[in-house]
Amino acid sequence: MSFDTPPSTGCREAPVLRERGQHEVFCGLTGIIWLHRKMQDAFFLVVGSRTCAHLLQSAAGVMIFAEPRFGTAILEETDLAGLADAQVELEREVARLIARRPDIRQLFLVGSCPSEVIKLDLARAAERLSVQHAPHVRVLNYSGSGIETTFTQGEDACLASMVPSLPETDARQLMLVGALPDVVEDQARDLLAQMGITDVAILPARRADDPLSVGPNTVFALLQPFLGDTLAALERRGARHIPAPFPFGAEGTTGWLRAVADEFGVDDATFERVTAAPRDRATRAVAQAAESLRGKSIFFFPDSQLEIPLARFLTRECGMRAIEVGTPFLHKNILGPDLDLLEAGPQLTEGQDVERQLDRCRAAQPDLTVCGLGLANPLEAERLATKWAIELVFTPVHFYEQAGDLAGLFSRPMRRRAALKLGAAS
Amino acid sequence: MKLTLWTYEGPPHVGAMRVATAMKGLHYVLHAPQGDTYADLLFTMIERRNHRPPVTYTTFQARDLGADTANLFKTACQAAYDRFQPEAMIVGASCTAELIQDDPGGMAEMMGLPCPVIALELPSYQRKENFGADETFFQITRALAKPIDKTAHVSCNLIGPTALGFRHRDDITELTGMLADMGIAVNVCAPYGASPSDIARLGAAHFNVLMYPETGESACRWMERELGLPFTKTVPIGVGATRDFICEVSVLGNVPQAMDEERLRLPWYSASVDSTYLTGKRVFIFGDGTHAAAAARIARDEMGFEVVGLGCYNREMARPLRALAKAYGLEALITDDYLEVEAAIEAAAPEMILGTQMERMIGKRLGIPCAVISAPVHVQDFPARYSPQMGIEGANVIFDTWVHPLVMGLEEHLLHMFRDDFEFHDAAGASHHGGQHVAKDATKDTAETPAPAEAPAKASDVLVWLADAERELKKIPFFVRGKARRNTEIFASQKGLNEIGIDTLYEAKAHYAR
C-alpha cells in the first residue's frame, strides 16, 4: 500500500452512530497511573470514596510500591454532613502528606464523582494550599470524575489544569503535548533536533523545576488525540496548534513529523535525510508483525480515544479491515488528518451502549476485538480474539522505533491462537 | 477524611457484586456513574471468569444530574430485565448514587417487574466490601427463602462462598466430599453457584455449614431464627479445626463421625524430622479475621511455630480476634492501614509472615518470607490446580504453602556450617525471594569495621551493644539473628544490665537454650 495516496473517500464526513447506555470504560482517575510515573515529583491526591481508591489499585495492580505517589482522601460520613469540615480536613491531610514526603513538589487535588456531586470546591482548596505551601509545593486541581471524564480524558484535564499557570514567553518554540514514556520522548526530540528544531518544550515536564513556558510564538503538536481541553487552554494562551495525523506507525509518524517540519521550514532533503532510515526500519518491523494481521477484520470498543488513529494504522499499514471503530469522543478538529486517511467503510460510533455493541460485535464475528479488560475474557470465552485496550496507553507505541511493537500488540493474540494446540496429536 | 494509599477491602457494592457474580439467574442493577464498571475486571481478570458479572450500570453523567437520573435508572432496570430475564434482581446505589438519593429500591418496586426485586441499602461511606457481601446475601435470603419440608435424607447448606473469594471454589469441593463421607448431602451451596430458586429451598436442609463468617453469618443467623436451621461455628481450616468441625457436624446431623485419615498428611509431615527446624519459628499473622484466626491455631499447634503477631483488617471480626490474640499473649492488630501493618511487622521482626498479598509485598521489602493465607485476592490466588484451604486436603495444601517460602531444614544446617562462606554472608540477603545476590568484597570485611557511631543508634532504649558483642552477633546466621538479638536484650534488661558484651550474649543463649 502506498502511504502517499490518501483514500478517495476518507471518514471525515462519515456518519457517526451516537450511543447512550452503559459505558464499559474507566473514569479519568485512571490517568494517574501513568501521569505519576511521568511527573516524578508530583503527588496525585484523589478526593473521593473507597471506590476511587479501589479503582486505582485495581487498575494499577499497585501492590508493588512501598508508598506510591498517589492516594485517596476518602470522604466519610462526617465530611458529607458539613462542607466547611471537608475543607479543613483536606488541609490537614495535605499538611500531613507534605510533611511526610519532602520529595513532593507538585500536588494535584483530583476531583471524583462524590466530590463533584457534593460540590467540594477543590479550586479554592488548591489556591489556599498553594499559599500555605509555597514556594516548595505547587498545588493544582482537576477533575478525573467519571461523571465528567472518560479514561484518557483524565490526562487531558490534568494537563489543561497546568496551562494557565505556565510562565509567559515570546520565544518562538515548539511544544509537544502529551505524557509519553521518556524513551519515546527522547526519540522525538532527537528526530526534531536532526532537522534543526531544537527549542522544544514538553507538557507535562518531568519535574516541577524544568523550565516550561507558553506564549503567542509557541506552536504545539499533540502526541495524543485525547487532549482537546489542553488544546483549548493552550490556544487561550496564544499558542497555535499544528494539525497532524498521530505518530503511530511509519505513515503516521512521517505525517506528524512532516507537519511540524513544514511549520519550521525544514527542506525536503533534510527531512528525507533524517527520516529515511528510521522510516524504513519501521516499515520493515511493521511488515513482519503484520503478516498475521493482513486481511483480518477488527472491531473497536470505545476506550482510550486512540481508536481512530489506530484504525488508520491497522488498515493502511497492516492490511486489516475495520468493521466498527468506537470511540468515547470524536474530536473532528483533532482527528481530521487521521479521518481523511481512514478509508470510508467502517461504522464510526461515539459513546456506548455496551449491550447493543456486544450484539453487533457477535454478529460481525471480527477476527480481532479491541476492548477493555472487563470484556476481554468473556469475549475470548466466546471464541473471539481480543486485544486489551489498556495496554495501548501503558506501552511505548509512538514514533518510528515503536511501530513494530505497536503492530505486535495486535498480532500477538492472533499468533497465540495459532500456536495453541490442545487436542490429541493423532 | 482519611488518606488511603491502598485498601484491603473495596466498597460495599463490590461485595454485592461478589454475591451476584457467584450466583446464577440473578441480575444486579447498580445506579452508578461511568467508571464504576472497573469492578468487572476484578472478576474477569483476577478470577479469570469467562462471563461478565451480571451487573447493569446506569452510567449517569454530570449533565444527567440536573435532569433525570431517576428515569435513567428505570430505563436501565427495564432494559436489564428484558435482556437477561433473571429469576430475581437486586438493585442498589454505588457511592456517588447514594449522594443523589434517587432511591433505586423504591423506584424498582414501583415498576412492577415480573420477578422479585430486592433493594440493597449499602452505606458506602461507612462500610466496606465484606459487609456488602454479607448484607446482600442476607437480604436475598430473607426475601426468597421460605420454610419448606426438610429433605428425607440428612442434608446441609454450604453458606458463604462468593466470587473473588480466597480458594472458595476448592473449599466447596473439599467440604462436599468430607460431608459425603459422613453421609450428608449438600442441599444448596450459596451464594456460589446458587440460583434464586435454590435460595427458596434453603430451608429444606437440616443445618447450615457457615464456611465464611465474613460473607455468610447474617444469613445464617436469620435462617437459624426464621427457618430453624442451626449452623456450624467452627471453620474447618487446619487439622484440629477440621476434627472439631466433624464433631460439630455429627451432632447437628445426628450421624457418626467419619474422616478419611488416609488423605491427611500434615500431622506426619509436621512430625517428621525434617520439620524439626520449624520449631519456634516466629510468625506474624495478618489477614481477614477468619483466616487469621485459623492460621494462628495451625501455626502454634500444628506447625510448632511461635505466633508473635496477630491481626485482621476487617473490623467486624475485631472482637473475636482480640480475644484470641489475648490467649496467645498478644495484642491484636486491627487496622486497614497497611503502613501500620508494615510497622508492626518490622517491630516484631518475625522469621515468616502469614498474610495477604500486601504482606507478601511488605515481606519482600523487609526480606522476610511470606505465605499468603487470605483475601484480598490476586490472580495467583486462583491456581489452576485443586488447592483448597479447608478440610483434609486444605491442611496438606497449607503445610506445603507455608513451608515453601522458608529456607528448608537441611538447607538451614548447611547455611549454618558455611555461615562465613563467601556465598552465605550478610550482604547476600536474608531471603531467597527477590533480593539479588551480592558477592562479598574480599578486601573489606564489614564485620571487622563497625562504625563507632552506629553503636548507640542500635541500642534499644537504654541498652547498648558493645562493639565486640555486635560483631559476635553478626556471626550468628541471619535467620536466627533477630531472635538472638531480642532474647539477649530481654535477658539483659531482666538482669538490669545496660551494656551487652559477648558474655551477655552467651549467657542469654544458655538461658534460653531449649
Q: Closest-CA residue in chain B for A381?
A: B50
| Chain A residues with beta carbon closer than 8 angstroms to that of B11 | 49-51, 54
On whether any CB of chain B is under 8 Å from the CB of A29, the answer is yes
Least confidently predicted of A84-93, A108-117, A334-343, B97-106? A84-93
On whether any CB of chain B is under 8 Å from the CB of A97, the answer is yes
| Chain B residues with beta carbon closer than 8 angstroms to that of A62 | 6
| Chain B residues with beta carbon closer than 8 angstroms to that of A378 | 44, 49-52
CA distances to A204, A211, A221, A259, B316 from A185, in Å: 11, 16, 13, 18, 50
List the grid coordinates of B199. Answer: 435460595
On whether any CB of chain A is under 8 Å from the CB of B39, the answer is yes
- Chain B nearest-CA distance from A283, in A, is 34
Q: Do B62 and A381 touch (CB under 8 A)?
A: no
φ, ψ for residue B323, nearest 5 deg: -65, -45
pLDDT tens-digit map of A331-379: 999 999 999 999 999 999 999 999 999 999 999 999 999 999 899 999 9
On whether any CB of chain B is under 8 Å from the CB of A273, the answer is no
SS3 content of chain B, % helix, strand, coil (to 5): 50, 15, 35
Q: Do A58 and B357 touch (CB under 8 A)?
A: no
Distance CA B380, CA B362 (A): 17
How many contacts, defined by CB atoms under 8 Å, are there between A and B? 187
Nearest to B99 among A64, A92, A118 (CB): A118
Q: Please list, in sequence order, all residues whose beta carbon lies within 8 angstroms of the beta carbon of residue B427, skipping any fewer than 6 positions away.
A: B438, B440, B446
On whether any CB of chain B is under 8 Å from the CB of A146, the answer is yes
On whether any CB of chain A is under 8 Å from the CB of B77, the answer is no
Q: Mind listing the pLDDT tens digit of every residue in chain B (514 residues)?
A: 889 888 999 999 999 999 999 999 999 999 999 999 999 999 999 999 999 999 999 999 988 887 788 899 999 999 999 999 999 999 999 999 999 988 999 999 999 999 999 999 999 999 999 999 999 999 999 999 999 999 999 999 999 999 999 999 999 999 999 999 999 999 999 999 999 999 999 999 999 999 999 999 999 999 999 999 999 999 999 999 999 999 999 999 999 999 999 999 999 999 999 898 899 999 999 999 999 999 999 999 999 999 999 999 999 999 999 999 999 999 999 999 998 999 999 999 999 999 999 999 999 888 899 999 999 998 989 999 999 999 999 999 999 999 998 865 555 555 555 555 455 455 555 444 444 444 444 444 444 433 444 344 444 457 899 998 888 888 776 667 777 888 888 889 888 888 999 888 888 888 877 5
B contact residues 351-380, partner A, Cβ 8 Å cutoff: 357-358, 360-361, 365, 378
CA distances to B437, B488, B502 from B469, in Å: 27, 10, 4
User: How would DSSP label each residue in A72-104?
Assistant: EEE--HHHHH-HHHHHHHHHHHHHHHHHH-TT-
Read off the DSSP letter of residue A63.
Answer: G
| Chain A residues with beta carbon closer than 8 angstroms to that of B339 | 67
Nearest to B35 among A27, A53, A92 (CB): A27
- Chain B nearest-CA distance from A69, in A, is 9
Distance CA B125, CA A86 (A): 14
Q: Closest-CA residue in chain B for A373?
A: B41
Q: Closest-CA residue in chain B for A63?
A: B358
Distance CA A203, CA B235 (A): 56
Q: Which of A260, A71, A247, A228 is closest to A163 using CA atoms?
A: A228
Report the range out of A289-293, A387-391, B11-15 with the highest average pLDDT. Answer: B11-15
Contact of B43 with B53, CB cutoff 8 Å: yes
On whether any CB of chain B is under 8 Å from the CB of A373, the answer is yes
| Chain A residues with beta carbon closer than 8 angstroms to that of B365 | 66
Burial B179-218 (b: 16+ CB within 10 A, else e): beebebebbbbbbbebbbebbbbbbbbbbbbbbbbbbbbb
| Chain A residues with beta carbon closer than 8 angstroms to that of B15 | none
- Chain A nearest-CA distance from B58, in A, is 6
**Interstrand relation of B352-355 and B282-287 (parallel, antiparallel or unpaired):** parallel
List the grid coordinates of A158. Answer: 490534568
Contact of B14 with B132, CB cutoff 8 Å: yes
B contact residues 99-128, partner A, Cβ 8 Å cutoff: 99-100, 123-126, 128
On whether any CB of chain A is under 8 Å from the CB of B271, the answer is no
On whether any CB of chain A is under 8 Å from the CB of B343, the answer is no
Contact of B314 with B300, CB cutoff 8 Å: no
Q: Where are the beta strands (DSSP E) in B218-342?
A: 282-287, 306-312, 333-334
Q: Is B274 a catalytic residue?
A: yes
On whether any CB of chain A is under 8 Å from the CB of B384, the answer is no
Q: Do B45 and A50 touch (CB under 8 A)?
A: no
Per the residue annotation, which of B260, B274, B420, B445 is the catalytic one?
Answer: B274
Q: Closest-CA residue in chain B for A62?
A: B6
